[in-house]
Amino acid sequence: MTRETRPRGAPRRAAVPPCAPLLVAALVASGCAGGDGTARPVTGPPTVLLLTVDTLRADRVGCYGRSDAGTPAIDTLAAEGVRFDAAQTTAPLTLPAHASLLAGRTLPAHGVFDNGTFALPEGIPVLAEAFEKAGWATGAFISSPVLARRYGLARGFVRYDDEIRREQGQSGIVMYYDERPGTETVARALAWLKEQGDKPTLLWVHLWEPHAPYIPPPAFAAAHPGDPYQGEVAAADAALAALVSGIEREGRRGRLLVVVAADHGEGLGEHGEPTHGVFLYRQTMQVPLVVSGPAWGVRRDAAVVEPVSLADVAPTLLELVGLPPLPGADGYSLAPALTGKGGPPARPGVLAESHLPQLEFGWSGLRAIVHGDQKLIDAPRPELFDLARDPEEATNLADGRAAETAALREAGTDLLRRARAGALEGGSARSATSEELAQLQSLGYAGSGRRVSGGGLIDPGAADPKDRTGFLELHDRAAELARTGRQGEAIALFAELERAEPRNPSLLFQHGQALIVTGRHDEAIAVFSRAVTVDPHFGMAWYRLGQLLDSRKDAAGAETAYRRAIEADPVALDPRKALAGLFASRGRFAEAADLLEEVLALDPGNAALREQAARLRARAGGAPPAR
Ligand SMILES: [Zn+2]
C-alpha cells in the first residue's frame, strides 16, 4: 500500500508519507484500476473533468501527507495518476487564479488582478473555446458568485451554471449571497452530463466548501472535531467522489481525464494571515494538483517535484487531448512529464503576484518567483527562502544572499517579458456593479474599483504588507463583525484602524458600509468623502456618496457624485441606473433614457430595464430605441 514517488530530479523535500489505508479500501471496493496498475477498459466518450476546490491547502490533503485528511477521492485519483508536489497558484485569489487555469496565463498576461473589479478580456483565448471549436460539449458549474459569468470565464462554455441562490441581507444596500453546496453543484453537473449522450465532453466543476466561513455539514464536522476547515475539505472531497461515481455511471470512466486543483490555499493564521489574498507564502500559494488519465497516457502513481504553475493546466490539457495550444499563453505544457515522454519544462521559474494589497489597501504589491529550491518574494523588503531546508519559509536569507536574490529577480523579469508578450493592448480593468461588490464584500473581499496604475507592482515608497499583519488581523475581525451583524463593534474597530491607516481605501469603504447599515448616514457621508479624497478614482465610494446625498434630496451633490462614479468606472451599471432614476424623478426623461440605453449596451440581457428605457424614451417624446 505504500506508494512510490518517482521524482525526476533531486528530491527537494522529505518524501511524502503514504496515503491513508482508506485509499486501498476505496480502490478495492470500486473495483477500479488504481495504484496497483490494473488497467481499466478504455471505453466511453472522451471526458475531461477539471475540478477546482476553492481554498484547499495542499498539506490538508491525504496524498500530500495529512494522515487524517478525509480525502479518499483525491487520494485515489493521485494513486491512479500524477501528483505535483510543488504546484503554485498564480495569485492567492479566486478569480485571478481561475482566469490563469482557463487561459493558461499568469496575471500579467491575462490582466485579471483582483476579484470583482476585473473581467477576463474578450480577446484572450481560453480552454473551453478550444474544446468547443473542436466539437466537444462544454459545461461549467460553479459554486460562488466570485466566478459569475460577468467576470469573463464563461466564454466557450455552452452551459455556464452560475445560478446561485441569493439571500437578502439585513440592509437594503449590502447583500449577502449563499455559496452553493458542492453536492448541489455536482448534481447539476451530472444532470447536464447525462444530456450530452456520447459527445466528447469538457466539464469544469468548482467547489467552494473550504472557503471561509468554515461550517461543514454535521457528519464532516463530527469527523474532524475542532477543525472545521478540515471538515469542509472532507465535504468537498465527498462531493468529488459523488461526481466521479456519477461519471462512471454514465459510462465515461474509461476515457476520463481528470485534473484536480485548488485555486489557492489558506493561511490559517500562519505568517499572520488568517485567510488568503495578501501574502505569497506556501500556505496560500502551494496548491494540490493531481492529474489522472490512464487512457490518455498519464502515468500511474507518480509524482513531479519540480515547481509548476496553475497556468500550465490549460496548455497541458490541450496537448494531452491533441488540440492546438492557446495563442499567447505563457503557461507551459506538462504533458511530457505526465506521460513520461519527457520531463517538466525548463523555465526561468514560476511566477505569482499579489495585487490586492496595492489595489485595496494602498500598500505595495508582491511578486513571487519560485525556481528549484529557491523562492523570492519581491517586496519593498524582499524575502529569499531555501525551500529544501526551510519549507515553512521562516528564515529570510535575502540580506546575506544578494546575488541569488538578484538572479531570481532577473528570472522574474524574463517571466514578465514572456507574459506581456502575449497580453493584449489596452488592459482589462472594468467595474463591477454595486451588487457584485456587495457580494464580494460578503465573502470577505472589498473591491475598490481602482485601476492598476502605471507604476510598478513593487512600490518601495509604500507599506510592505508583511509589516501590516497586526492591522490585517484586526481588519479581518472587523469585517467578520460586520458580516455577522455586529455593526456597532465593527464600526468601533474600523474607526480605531483608521487612526493607524487613514488613507486605506478598502478600510474606509467598509467603515462607510457599516455606517450605512446602521443608519448613521451623516458619518457615512464623511467617511466616503474621505475615501474619494484618498482615491479620486474610487468609483464605488463615489457611488455610495451619491446614494447618500440622493436619499437626503441633495440632487446637485448626488448628480456630481454619480457622474464621478461613471467617470471612474466607464462600464459601471449602477451609477448610471441611479443617475437615470434621479433624472426621471426631476422630469429629465431624455437624459434618463440616454443613461438606461447606455446600461443596456453594457448589459443587453436585462429585459425589465429595456422596457423601462423605452417608457422613458416615450415620455421624453422621442422614438423608442431600435430593437
Ligand atoms: Zn478561491
Distances (CA, A) of 274 to 25, 59, 236, 382, 444: 35, 16, 20, 22, 11
The tens digit of pLDDT for each residue in 232-266 reads 999 999 999 999 999 999 999 999 999 999 999 99
What is the CA(117)–ligand 1 centre distance, in A? 15
Q: Tell me how far the alpha carbon of residue 551 lies from the centroid of ligand 1, in angstroms.
A: 36
Distance (angstroms) between ligand 1 centre and the Cα of 508 equals 24
Q: Quick one: pLDDT at residue 95?
A: 94
Q: What is the mean pLDDT of residues 490-516?
A: 94
How close is the Cα of 395 to the center of ligand 1, in Å?
A: 27
CA of 228 to the centre of ligand 1 (A): 17
Give me ligand 1 centre to Cα 310, in Å: 13
295-318 pLDDT, tens digit each = 999 999 999 999 999 999 999 999
- Rounded to the nearest angstrom, the distance between the alpha carbon of 588 and the centre of ligand 1 is 44
Spatial distance between the Cα atoms of 490 and 97, rounded to a whole number of angstroms:
30
**Ligand 1 center from residue 273 Cα (angstroms):** 15
70 or 444, greater pLDDT: 70
Centre of ligand 1 from the C-alpha of residue 520, in Å: 33
> For residue 304, what are the β-bridge partners?
84
Among 223-227, 300-304, 538-542, name the one with the lowest average pLDDT.
538-542
Closest CA to 428 of 330, 355, 364, 506: 355
Q: How far is the CA of 137 from the centre of ligand 1 (A)?
A: 26
CA of 321 to the centre of ligand 1 (A): 27
| Helices 607-619 & 574-585 angle (0-180, nearest 10) | 30
Using the mean position of ligand 1's atoms as its centre, give its distance from the Cα of residue 404 in Å.
Answer: 32
Residue 271 Cα distances to 84, 350, 466, angstroms: 24, 21, 8
CA 522 to ligand 1 centroid distance, Å: 36
- Coil/strand/helix, residue 525: helix
The Å distance, Cα 116 to ligand 1 centre, comes to 13
State the distance from the centre of ligand 1 to the C-alpha of 469, rounded, in angstroms: 20
- Residue 65 CA, ligand 1 centroid: distance in Å: 22
Residue 555 Cα to ligand 1 midpoint, Å, equals: 40
Amino acid at 312: D
Q: Give residue 568's pLDDT.
A: 78
pLDDT in tens, 67-108: 999 999 999 999 999 999 999 999 999 999 999 999 999 999
| Cα–ligand 1 centroid distance for 265 (angstroms) | 8
**What's the gap in Å between 586 CA and the centre of ligand 1?**
44
Q: How far does residue 491's CA lie from ligand 1's centre (Å)?
A: 27
Residue 434 is predicted with a pLDDT of 52
Cβ-in-10-Å burial (0-12, 13-18, 19+) of 607 comes to exposed
Q: 30 CA to middle of ligand 1, Å?
A: 31
The two beta strands, 176-177 and 166-167, are: antiparallel
Inform me whether the pLDDT recorded for 23 exceeds 80: no
Separation of alpha carbons 482 and 280, rounded Å: 27
Q: How far is the CA of 24 from the centre of ligand 1 (A)?
A: 30
Mean pLDDT over 2-20 rounds to 32
Return the closest-CA partner of residue 281 out of 272, 293, 291: 272
Cα of 97 to ligand 1 centre, how many Å?
Answer: 8
- Range 8-14 average pLDDT: 32
CA of 263 to the centre of ligand 1 (A): 5
**Contact of 205 with 189, CB cutoff 8 Å:** yes
Cα separation, 337 vs 319, whole angstroms: 12
Give the distance (Å) from ligand 1 centre to CA of residue 314: 18
Q: Looking at per-residue confidence, does 112 or 22 come out higher?
A: 112
Q: Measure 58 CA to ligand 1 centroid, in angstroms.
A: 14
Cα of 211 from ligand 1 centre, angstroms: 7
How many angstroms separate the alpha carbon of residue 575 from the centre of ligand 1? 28
User: Is the omega angle on the peptide bond into residue 307 within 30 degrees of 0, that is, cis?
Assistant: no
Q: Which three cell numbers stand for residue 364?
A: 505595495
Cα-to-centroid distance, 497 and ligand 1 (Å): 26
- Greater confidence (582 vs 440) lies with 582
Q: Give the Å distance between the CA of 521 and the centre of ligand 1.
A: 33
List, for residues 581-613, the tens digit of each pLDDT value. Answer: 999 999 999 999 999 998 887 666 678 889 999
Question: What's the CA-to-centroid distance between 114 and ligand 1, angstroms?
Answer: 11
Q: What is the pLDDT of residues 327-360, one digit of tens each?
A: 999 999 999 999 999 999 999 999 999 999 988 8
Give residue 440 CA to ligand 1 midpoint distance, Å. Answer: 12
| Residue 39 CB burial class (10 angstroms; 0-12, 13-18, ≥19) | exposed
- CA 208 / ligand 1 centre spacing (Å): 8
What was the pLDDT predicted at 39? 65
Ligand 1 centroid–CA 541 distance in Å is 25
90 C-alpha to ligand 1 centroid (Å): 12
User: What spacing in Å lies between the alpha carbon of 147 and ligand 1's midpoint?
Assistant: 9
**How remote is the CA of residue 305 from the centroid of ligand 1, in Å?**
24
How far apart are the C-alpha atoms of 275 and 277, rounded to whole Å? Answer: 7
Average of per-residue pLDDT across 477-496 = 93
CA-to-CA distance for 335 and 342, rounded, in angstroms?
Answer: 8
Please say whether the beta carbons of 106 and 415 come within 8 A. Answer: yes
* Ligand 1 centroid to residue 620 C-alpha, Å: 47
Distance (Å) from CA 275 to ligand 1 centroid: 10
C-alpha cell at 72: 479518499
User: Cα of 54 to ligand 1 centre, how many Å?
Assistant: 4
**Does the CA dihedral 147-150-155-159 come out positive or negative?**
positive
Give me ligand 1 centre to Cα 10, in Å: 32
- Asked whether residue 514 carries a pLDDT value surpassing 80, the answer given is yes
Distance (angstroms) between ligand 1 centre and the Cα of 184 equals 19
Instruction: Report d(CA 353, CA 91) in Å as an integer.
Output: 5
pTM: 0.84
- Ligand 1 centroid to Cα of residue 216, in Å, is 17
Residue range 62-66: average pLDDT? Answer: 97
Q: In this structure, are strands 350-354 and 366-371 parallel, antiparallel, or unpaired?
A: antiparallel
Predicted local confidence at residue 13, as pLDDT: 35
